[in-house]
Amino acid sequence: MSCGPVCTNLGLKPGQRLIVKGKISPSAKSFVMNLGKDASQVALHFNPRFDAHGDVNTIVCNSKKVEEWGAEHRESVFPFQKGGIAEITFVVNQNDLTVHLPGHQFTFPNRLGLSVFDYFETQGDFTLQSISWE
């Protein structure tokens, strides 16, 4: 999977949000957004799959602690379109993260217990157009 931009030293804390906008490839199979402490400690692995790893139009979320993956969580709501624009907002809460998608939102637990989120990266069939945090 091709690697996109990597952001470090974000300093996101509870009550703050990360807003990501970008374009999905017209031939997209999947893309990934990782948010956490660093590449080996990922509190949220956000992976919309158009057709990858046996999943079709499914969002798979997980966490990774020192190279060890946790239990997968699947969301059946899939608001993404190949060739479309995506805006995803990640809100950092005390014990979880809320993911805001067009017309849908869900929460994912902060399994690593992070108090600060310093790391964000994108991979796959997604071209980052803007990133902001508040």
88-111 tens-digit pLDDT: 999 999 999 999 999 999 999 999
At 6-46, the pLDDT tens digits run 999 999 999 999 999 999 999 999 999 999 999 999 999 99
Which residue is it, tokens 């990501």?
20
How far CA 23 is from CA of 2, 30, 84, in Å, comes to 15, 12, 6
pLDDT digits (tens, 9 = 90+) for 61-97: 999 999 899 999 999 999 999 999 999 999 999 999 9
d(CA 17, CA 118): 12
Two structure tokens written together for 97: 């993260």
The structural domains of the chain, ordered by start, are: 3-133 (2.60.120.200)
Start-to-end C-alpha separation, the chain: 29
